[in-house]
A and B are shown apart, each in its own frame.
Chain A
Amino acid sequence: MEETKERTILVLEDERQLAKAVREAFSERGFEPIIVSTVSDGIKQLENLKHVDVIWLDHYLLGTENGLDFVVKLKNHPVWKNIPIFVVSNTASTTNIRSYIQLGITNYYTKADYDISQIINDIEYALRQTNAIIE
């Protein structure tokens, strides 16, 4: 069964407090969350992991690169470009949000405006859609 299989979510989030909540919430909902706080660590994880189902991406991250740099890298990659990306940020500007959407991310959320369960619901829904298309 699809539902029982553990889905891997790569979380790029630099706020320790929030990252912890995200990890707990996703674990509870049957995800395997991998948490990193820089773009380069995110890329490393993608390279190491066999499979990543979905990506949680904050805009501002530790290091010099931000979420947009990460999306650009993924979209230029033959395999990674198909991984759904959910940008969850408190600080992105309208211009940045527009750029994310133009680059083909799945959705954008302002953290403070959403319960974490709402975002997970949306992610699960999106994954079911993707799987349905694949099948």
Chain B
Amino acid sequence: MEQDPIHEGKRILSEGKPPHGGMLLLILVPIILLAGALLSGWLTYWLPGTNLSGYTPWLVTAAALAEGVLVWMMVFSILPLYIKYGAKANDAIIATIKGQERYIDALTGSGLGFWEYDLVSGKVFFSATMVAMLGYGDHDAGGDIDFWYQNVHPDDLEGVKRTMQYHLEQRTRTYAIDYRMRRANGEYLWVSDSGRAILDEAGKSIRLAGVTQDISNVMRVQEVLEARTNELETAKTKIEEEVQNARKFQKAVDSSTEAVSITTPDGAIIYVNPAWTILNGYSEAEALGRNPRMLKSEQSPTEVFAAMWEKITAGYAFHTEEIINKRKDGTVYHAELSIFPISEGSQTLFYVSLCQDISQRKEVDKAKTEFVSLASHQLRTPLSAIRWYSEMLLSKYVGELNEKQRQYVKEIYQGNLRMVDLVNALLNVSRLDLGTFAIEPEEVNLVEICESVLSELTPQITEKNQTVERIFSTAPQTYIADPKLIRIVFQNFLSNSVKYTQVGGYIVAEIGIRENNLYIRVSDNGYGIPKGQHGKIFEKLFRADNVRQKDTEGTGLGMYIVKAIVESSGGRIWFESEENKGTTFHVLMPLSGMPKKTGAKGLA
């Protein structure tokens, strides 16, 4: 341990004994000198009266000499002691100063600035390190306390003043505070101040001295740490939110009334929700790890599964209402199934599937459709009666009708024909909806079918003075199709074009090959379809506003039937249309032709 410099000085002094006799000397010498003087006076007075009067000068001189010798001896015996002690004191002072220098060196080396605030004068002393710390050069400096205050960060000033005041009022043992000081270049510096008041004898604070340390680095580290901590807190909050979200989703999925299951790409079930277990009769434990194939019943059409795999392995969602699932207890239900592949990049992570029992809905639909079918069949008998009797009335053999009668019966006959068309269309729709319509493909000549439809329409085309362009140059010689069905397609396209194109209009019929598919196109420059109704064109019983005013006939079933025919053959149908510019319908069908499908009824 380094010794306190003051103690070091005191130790040096106490090594030699303090000299004695100085005081005695001071008392005795004047007494001796006084006694000597008195003696000299007395001798001078007394001796001349004696026989020794002749010796008077000599005796006075001798007494003075004796006195001088006595004083001299006393001085010489004591003074060297004091000189020696003085030298020691010098050593002590040097040692003390050296000690203080060490303090200053230590302060400088540590980077601590030293200051002293004189409360009486309001002056402050700043050490060179302190001055350098604030960027004002490298020398001790004095200043006003106000200079200090002016450079404390405004936000911290109040705190500094209060801390100082508390300490000066001796409410705190030390003065210590961290705050920001402005440097000469205007930057702020984090400093840590600590000091202590010096009291006068009355115990009142007269000075405050202390050291100041630049803690900017510490604060910077602290700031970085705080920032990191904040980041971590934010991240933690986010993770917690995510977990909450995930829980919410889990809850939502768990409480969904739709059966939800998640399957790995290789077909192992990894999740089922309660609705799934209720629907299928398997517990969660029985389902996990197994292949959803366990639900497949013999009644499901196999082609649906082929189509499903094709879609979902290509990363597309798949939807069907055509499968029959088997429960654990062997009972079956009609399922509506949607499968969504969940991918990350090109990798499929899993398949999410939603399933619902739509047996009841299917039954209702079927009943409705069967009702339409039955009703339509029943309608045909009275329609036949009206047709045949009005026909006979017109055929003169029951007698000639007058012109008015003839006209009216003709109207009845025409009205009946429209009713027949409508009933036939309704029947077709009910067969499509029931899935009971048959596709009986055979080799057909599409150009011939198209031409025969056009020749049926010739009266109307001629009447409206319309031009028909035929583009058949790349048409295949033969195509495998159900002639009735393909005829319905041409019939609807072409009769619509003729009906919904103005007098003098232009119609194009094209049959060819495109994108390695059979391509059929029918275009016209007619009334077109209003943009807002494009989405409804293929809906049942839809008729566009602009043509409903022009032509009251039309069942609104034609395009629905056409779309069903095209799609049931694996084809695609789309159109472009602009009001008063015209309409173009496109169809692409596989070159392999229509697949065979057995069913109770063909389309009429």
Residues of A within 8 A of B (CB): 15, 17-18, 21-22, 24-25, 28, 90-91, 93-95, 97, 110-113, 115-117
Q: Are B599 and A94 in contact (CB under 8 A)?
A: yes
Contact of B45 with A by CB under 8 A: no
Contact A21 B380 (CB under 8 A): no
- CB atoms of A94 and B395 under 8 A apart: no
14 pairs, A vs B, C-beta closer than 8 Å: A17-B381, A17-B385, A18-B384, A18-B385, A22-B388, A28-B392, A28-B397, A90-B381, A94-B599, A110-B604, A111-B384, A112-B420, A113-B604, A117-B391
Within B356-406, the residues touching A (CB, 8 Å) are 377, 380-385, 387-389, 391-392, 395, 397
- A111 to B600, Cβ gap below 8 A? no
Instruction: Tell me how far the C-beta of A86 lies from the nearest C-beta in chain B, rounded to whole angstroms.
Output: 15
Does B438 touch A at the CB level, under 8 Å? yes
Chain A contacts for B383, CB-based, 8 A? 112
B423 partner, pick from A24, A93, A97, A112, beta carbons under 8 A: A112
Known contacts: A21-B389, A113-B420. The answer to whether A90 contacts B438 by CB under 8 A is no
The chain A residue sitting closest to B416, CB to CB, is A112
Indicate if the CB atoms of B438 and A94 lie closer than 8 Å.
yes
Determine the chain B residues whose CB is within 8 A of the CB of A91 once the complex forms.
Answer: 377, 380
Interface size on B, residues (CB 8 A): 24
With CB as the reference atom, state the residue of chain B lying closest to A89.
B380
Which listed residue (B377, B382, B392, B601) contacts A116, Cβ 8 A?
B392
Is B568 in the interface zone, CB < 8 Å from A?
no
Is the CB of B517 closer than 8 A to any CB of chain A? Answer: no
Picked from B381, B392, B438, B604, the residue with its CB within 8 Å of the CB of A25 is B392
Asked if A115 and B391 sit within 8 Å, CB to CB, the answer is yes
Q: How far, in angstroms, from A66 to B395 measured CA to CA in the complex?
A: 32
In the docked arrangement, what's the CA distance between A43 and B528, Å? 58
Residues of A close to B602: CB separation below 8 A: 94, 97
Is B424 interfacial (CB 8 A cutoff)?
yes
Q: How far is the CA of A24 from the CA of B389 in the complex (A)?
A: 10
List residues of chain A with CB within 8 A of the CB of B381.
15, 17-18, 90, 111
Cα distance A93–B370 in the bound complex, in angstroms: 13
Not counting A21-B388, A116-B391, a sample of 15 additional A-B residue pairs whose C-beta atoms are within 8 angstroms of each other reads A21-B385, A21-B389, A22-B388, A25-B388, A28-B392, A28-B397, A94-B602, A111-B384, A112-B387, A112-B424, A113-B604, A115-B387, A116-B388, A117-B391, A117-B395
Q: Interface digits, B573-604 against A, CB 8 Å rule (1 contact, 0 not)?
A: 00000000000000000000000000111101
* Closest partner residue, chain B, to A25 (CB atom): B392
Nearest CB in chain B: distance from A34 CB, A:
19
Against A, the Cβ 8 Å flags (1 = close, 0 = not) of B415-452 are: 00000100110000000000000101000000000000
Which residues of chain A are near B380, meaning CB under 8 Å? 90-91, 110-112
Q: Is the CB of B600 within 8 A of A93?
A: yes
- Which of A24, A95, A113 meets B600, CB within 8 Å? A95
Contact check, A113 vs B424: say whether CB atoms are below 8 A apart: yes
Dominant secondary structure of chain B at its interface with chain A = helix
Q: Determine the distance from Cα of A97 to Cα of B440 in the docked complex, in whole angstroms.
A: 13
The distance from the CB of B395 to the nearest CB of chain A, in whole angstroms, is 7
Taking Cβ atoms with an 8 Å cutoff, the residues of B that contact A are 377, 380-385, 387-389, 391-392, 395, 397, 420, 423-424, 438, 440, 599-602, 604
- Beta-carbon nearest neighbor of B382 in chain A: A17
Contact A18 B388 (CB under 8 A): yes
- Closest residue of chain A to B602, judged by CB? A94
CB of B203 to closest CB in A, whole Å: 122
A115 touches B438 (CB 8 A): no
Among B377, B380, B382, B388, residue most surrounded by chain A Cβ atoms (within 10 Å): B388
Q: In angstroms, how far is the closest chain A Cβ from the Cβ of B414? A: 13
Closest A residue by C-beta to B385: A17
| A-side contacts of B389, CB under 8 Å | 21
Q: A111-B380, A112-B420, A113-B420 are in contact. Are A93 and B601 (CB under 8 A)?
A: yes
Complex Cα gap A117–B380 (Å): 18
Question: CB distance B384 to A90 under 8 Å?
Answer: yes
Task: Kindly list chain A residues whose C-beta atoms are within 8 Å of the C-beta of B424.
Answer: 112-113
- Shortest distance from the beta carbon of A53 to any chain B beta carbon, whole Å: 21
Alpha-carbon distance A71/B437, docked complex (angstroms): 25
- CA–CA, A100 and B600, complex, Å: 14
CB distance from B413 to the nearest CB of A (A): 9
- A116 and B389 CA atoms in complex are apart in Å by 9
Set of chain B residues within 8 Å of A112, measured between Cβ atoms: 380, 383-384, 387, 420, 423-424
Residues of chain A within 8 A (CB-CB) of B420 are: 112-113
- The answer to whether B601 and A94 have CB atoms under 8 Å apart is yes
B388 with A90: CB separation less than 8 A: no
Closest 6 CB pairs of A and B: A90-B380, A111-B384, A21-B388, A94-B602, A112-B380, A93-B600
User: When chains A and B are docked, how far (Å) is the Cα of A111 from the Cα of B377?
Assistant: 11
Question: B residues within 8 A CB of A24?
Answer: 392
- Chain B residues within an 8 Å CB radius of A15: 381, 385
**Docked complex Cα distance between A75 and B438 (Å):** 27
How far does the Cβ of A57 sit from chain B's closest Cβ, in whole Å? 15
Contacts of B384 in A (CB 8 A): 18, 90, 111-112
Tell me the bound Cα distance from A59 to B395 in angstroms: 28
Residue from A18, A28, A112 having most chain B Cβ neighbours under 10 A = A112
Min CB gap A29→B, angstroms: 9
Within the complex, what minimum Cβ distance (angstroms) separates B153 from chain A?
96
Taking CB atoms, residues of chain A closer than 8 Å to B600 are 93-95
Q: Nearest-CB distance from A1 to chain B (Å)?
A: 21
The CA of A22 and the CA of B385, in the complex, are separated in Å by 10
B129 to chain A, nearest CB (A): 109
- Give the residues in chain A near B385, CB-CB below 8 Å: 15, 17-18, 21
B165 to chain A, nearest CB (A): 108
Asked if B604 and A90 sit within 8 Å, CB to CB, the answer is no
- Which residues from B are CB-within-8-Å of A22? 388
Residues in A whose Cβ lies below 8 Å from that of B423? 112
Hey, which chain A residues are within 8 Å of B395, CB to CB?
Answer: 117
A115, closest chain B residue (CB)? B391
> How many Å lie between the Cα of A117 and that of B392 in the bound state?
9
CA distance A97 to B603 in the complex (A): 12
When distances are taken between beta carbons in the complex, the residues of chain B under 8 Å from A115 are 387-388, 391
Q: Which residues of A contact B377 (CB under 8 A)?
A: 90-91
- Smallest Cβ-Cβ distance to A116: which chain B residue: B388
